[in-house]
Amino acid sequence: MQLHLLNRSPQSTAVYRDLGEAFGADDQLLLIEDACYAALPAASGVIEAFGGRVSVLEEDLVSRGLAGRVSPAITVVDMKGFLALTETHERCVSWF
Amino acid sequence: MQLHLLNRSPQSTAVYRDLGEAFGADDQLLLIEDACYAALPAASGVIEAFGGRVSVLEEDLVSRGLAGRVSPAITVVDMKGFLALTETHERCVSWF
Amino acid sequence: MTNIRASDIEPQDLMVVLRHPPHGSHWLREGIDVALVAAAFGQRVGLLFQGDGVYALLEGQQAGALGQKGTHPQLAMLEMYDIESLWVSAAALSERGLSIDDLMLPVKPLGAEAVAELMQVQPHTLIF
Amino acid sequence: MTNIRASDIEPQDLMVVLRHPPHGSHWLREGIDVALVAAAFGQRVGLLFQGDGVYALLEGQQAGALGQKGTHPQLAMLEMYDIESLWVSAAALSERGLSIDDLMLPVKPLGAEAVAELMQVQPHTLIF
Amino acid sequence: MLNYALLVHAAPYSHQAALSALRFADAIVTGGHRLAAVFFYHDGVHNASALMSPPQDEIHLAEGWKRLHEDHGTQLLVCIAAGLRRGLLNTDEANRHGLASHNVEAPFELTGIGQLVDAMLNNDRLITFAP
Amino acid sequence: MLNYALLVHAAPYSHQAALSALRFADAIVTGGHRLAAVFFYHDGVHNASALMSPPQDEIHLAEGWKRLHEDHGTQLLVCIAAGLRRGLLNTDEANRHGLASHNVEAPFELTGIGQLVDAMLNNDRLITFAP
């Protein structure tokens, strides 16, 4: 059970594909920085590979003006929620 | 008539798409650094948008072990050829 | 929205193409800085928002954590510097599920042909 | 080529995933450096070449202009450091029109399921 | 309580990742955990520069890292191989290379990649922030 | 004969682009043209560091740039706003910021973005090398 961190916009399709290949059945994905744009409905094609186990960092959403635009399939977490994800997952792998 | 320089691998599809949109009928594209991988036949789908007006920098091909693998549609130029392209094109635009 | 035709495009002294989204890196900020300085030096400057650069125009951006200013305050200064030729790739917008109504500034949408034409007629182009 | 099954994968102490091509940036070199140092410190280290990282394995690489060494001399040292668990994404290879025969080292091709399994069983993973 | 280490690959003032790392570092210590070490690698070594002089209305990243050390004892480890190439040296290295200036000062320490391996093996979590 | 200027965005020892720029600079002057100026912006400012200490079997990029200036009079212009943030200062700026060390020395000059605009308008070609 791993937590995957990703910080690239969904236009960086290569990193989404490589992460998709490595993503396990119980893994979680947290979108931070420019990966927040993958939380928009327009990116649902890229995100559906991660089976609903996707969250996005609230402060990075808000600064980008995306707070009201998040796809309903994606969970919004704050900085405490980010920390909690790293507490409950033994390993955290960062993709960039 | 512009010369476009590009240095990202063809897996960086977003930059190839944006460049495609900006590429004029008389423009030339020169592939350097990691864009050399776009000179392989496997990347022909990404390259065909540039209508046969594509060259690749020899020394960057050679260092990557690609010298014998270049698609026949692509011209190989050395450093002098790179310079010559900038001489004959008034503007050079770099995509990254 | 109706896209601008190639024939409606006026050449500028300098064209800055913005391809990076706000906040994630300094590309956007440093690109806008070049546009502002060139305008302050009396050059006519145009901006093209392309690819993820269209996110720079999204309404409702804010300062980030740890005092990150973002780039929306810079964009608000464009008018003061007489930078009024603002273009956006229509394809980049629609691929991202956005329309002109989602944007904070009045920008002119360009179809693919018009983007190529815009690039052709500019004497100087810098991409960020 | 026959892909390795998930059940054939042995966990290592450290798994380094290499996703960047050689020469263009220092990512690959600095990733291999971590692998070599960890091995020198007695850790069992495995490497997964994924995405553009598979180009690191291409036969016939050379030093670049201005004395750029490239990463192939580093890869040639892996055996000396007892780094022998070398995996490659089969999808990454085939998307790039490459096969195992094009590569400079004996690596084990992994199908998508096996890549995910490989990641699951490693106690520590670093991506470069 | 968990022991954390961070690996920072991103240059300051070029990519948000350096700021994200510092934000997350604050969350770790505020959340009751221990942040044992931050390892700066690749362009992340520039976070250690004693010469960075951002505008006064922007955060000073090197000061932010230093405060973590002062308040929580976090080790600030700069990869020496990545740093020397990129122009990051302490007084010892400056002397060794015949240079009159330096830009790495305590609590930042120049150290080897082995310390990254140690940080990974001896802590419960290693979180990477890259550009 | 054409007048060229280069714009370098890439950090040394992280991306090939800094080396590509220096290679192309050599091609310009060898090809009988004039290289009027190199403008270092974004992470490219790190090319100006007097402290970079690469291994002896690797190229020293700052020395490479300096040689261009010495042999061909090329101006080496470092964006001051991009540089100060990232820890690149000459003695003047170090004094102004109360710092005892500096890492930018002649022939590298700290200068404003206006000089980039000048370099673009006053030369026949501007070629950009980015990471």
Q: What is the pLDDT of residue C3?
A: 77
A80–E127 C-beta distance less than 8 A: no
- What is the H or E stretch that residue C28 is in? helix C27-40
Which residue positions in chain F have pLDDT lower than 50? none
Distance CA B89, CA B85 (A): 6
Q: Each residue of A50-95: pLDDT tens digit?
A: 999 999 999 999 999 999 999 999 999 999 999 999 999 999 999 9
pLDDT of residue C9: 85
Distance from CA of E26 to the nearest CA of C (A): 11
Each residue's pLDDT tens digit, E75-109:
999 999 999 999 999 999 999 999 999 999 999 99
Q: Which residues are CB-neighbours of B67 under 8 A, at least 6 positions away?
A: B58, B61, D60
Residues of E in contact with F101 (CB under 8 A): 50-51, 101-103
Asked whether C55 and A62 are in contact (CB, 8 A), the reply is no
Query: What's the pLDDT score for residue A54?
Result: 98
Measured CB to CB, residues of chain C less than 8 Å from chain E are 23-26, 64-69
B28 has a chain F CB within 8 A of its CB: no
Q: Is the pLDDT of residue E120 over 60?
A: yes
- For every residue of chain A, DSSP letters joined together read -EEEEE-S-TT-HHHHHHHHHH--TT-EEEE-GGGGGGGSGGGHHHHGGGTT-EEEEHHHHHHTT-GGG--TTSEEE-HHHHHHHHHH-SEEEEE-
pLDDT of residue B25: 94
Does C116 touch chain B if contact means CB atoms closer than 8 Å? yes
Q: How many C-beta atoms lie closer than 10 Å to residue F7's C-beta?
A: 25
The pLDDT tens digits of the residues spanning D50-65 come to 999 999 999 999 999 9
Rounded-to-5 percentages of helix, strand, coil across chain F? 40, 20, 35
Question: Is D5's pLDDT higher than 90?
Answer: no
CA distances from C69 to A63, C63, C66, E16 (A): 9, 5, 9, 12
Tell whether the model's pLDDT for residue C1 goes beyond 60: no
Q: Do E22 and C69 touch (CB under 8 A)?
A: no
- Please give the positions of F annotated as active site: 79
pLDDT bucket at D10, cuts 50 / 70 / 90: confident
Domains and CATH numbers, chain C: 6-127 (3.40.1260.10)
- Confidence band for C35, pLDDT divided at 50, 70 and 90: very high
Q: What is the DSSP letter of C9?
A: P
Which residue out of D28, D33, D68, D125 would a mutagenesis test of the E interface target, given it has the greatest number of E Cβ atoms within 10 Å?
A: D33
Tell whether D80 is within 8 A of chain B (Cβ): no
* pLDDT value for D43: 97
Ordered by start, the domain boundaries in chain B are 2-95
Residues D122-128 have a mean pLDDT of: 97
Sheet holding B28-31, edge to edge: B75-77, B54-57, B28-31, B2-6, B91-95
pLDDT of residue C121: 94
SS3 C100: helix
Question: Across chain C, what does the average pLDDT equal?
Answer: 95
Residues of F with Cβ-Cβ distance to D25 under 8 angstroms: 14-16, 131
Confidence of residue D7 (pLDDT cuts 50, 70, 90): low
Residue F63 in tokens: 């020395």
Residue in chain C nearest A8 by alpha carbon: C24
Reported confidence tier of residue C52, pLDDT bands at 50, 70, 90? very high
**Is E23 close to A79, i.e. CB distance below 8 A?**
yes
- Region of E13 (left: φ > 0; alpha: ψ -120 to 50; beta: rest) is left
Beta strands in B1-96 (DSSP E): 2-6, 28-31, 54-57, 75-77, 91-95
Share of chain B above pLDDT 90, in %: 97
Domains of chain E listed by start with CATH number:
3-129 (3.40.1260.10)
Q: Is E19 touching C (CB cutoff 8 A)?
A: yes
Other chains touching B, judged by 3 or more CB pairs under 8 Å: A, C, D, F
Looking at residue C6, its pLDDT comes to 67
Contact status of B11 with chain A (Cβ, < 8 Å): yes
Give residue-wise pLDDT tens across range E41-64: 999 999 999 999 999 999 999 999
Q: Which of E101, E77, E81, E80 has its CA nearest to residue E91?
A: E101
Residue E128 to residue D127, Cβ atoms within 8 A: yes
> Does D23 contact chain B (CB < 8 Å)?
yes
Three-state SS annotation for chain D: CCCECHHHCCCCCEEEEECCCCCCECHHHHHHHHHHHHHHCCCCEEEEECHHHHHHHECCCCCCHHHCCCCHHHHHCCHHHCCCEEEEEHHHHHHCCCCHHHECCCCEEECHHHHHHHHHHCCCEEEC
Say if CB F98 and CB F42 are below 8 A apart. Answer: no
Q: What is the pLDDT of residues F2-23, one digit of tens each?
A: 999 999 999 999 999 999 999 9
Q: How many interchain CB pairs under 8 A, E with F?
A: 89
pLDDT tens-digit readout, D95-106: 999 999 999 999
A75 to chain C, minimum CA–CA distance in Å?
A: 20
Provide mean pLDDT across the span B58-87: 98
Contact flag for E and D (3+ C-beta pairs < 8 Å) = yes
Cβ contacts of D123 on chain E, cutoff 8 Å: none
Which residue in the set A9, A41, A60 is minimally distant from C97, CB to CB? A41
Look at residue C72 in the predicted model and tell me its pLDDT: 97
Q: Mean of the pLDDT values across residues C93-103? A: 97
Measured between CA atoms, the residue of chain A closest to residue C21 is: A34
Q: What is the pLDDT of residue F108?
A: 98
Which one of B12, B18, B95 makes the best mutation probe of the A interface by having the most chain A beta carbons within 10 Å?
B12
Domain B2-95 annotated CATH 3.40.1260.10:
yes
Q: Which of E10, E48, E68, E79 is catalytic?
A: E79
pTM exceeding 0.80: yes
Q: Where are the alpha helices (DSSP H) in chain F?
A: 17-30, 61-72, 80-86, 91-96, 114-121
Query: Is F128 within 8 Å of chain C by CB?
Result: yes
Interface test with C, best of E14, E16, E46 (most C CBs within 10 A): E16
Residue A36 at interface with chain E, using a CB cutoff of 8 Å: no
Q: Pairing relation of β-strands F3-8 and C125-127?
A: unpaired
Residue D71, min C-alpha distance to chain A (Å) = 20
CB atoms within 10 A of CB D9: 21
Residue D72 scores a pLDDT above 80? yes
Q: Å from C128 to nearest chain B CA? A: 8
- On chain A, the residues whose CB falls within 8 A of the CB of E28 are 83
- Supply the pLDDT for residue C7: 65
Chain F hits for E42, CB-CB cut-off 8 Å, are: 14
- The partner residue sitting opposite D67, judged by closest CB among F14, F15, F58, is F58
Distance between CA F103 and CA F94 in Å, rounded? 9
Cβ-based burial of D50 (10 A; exposed 0-12, middle 13-18, buried ≥19): buried
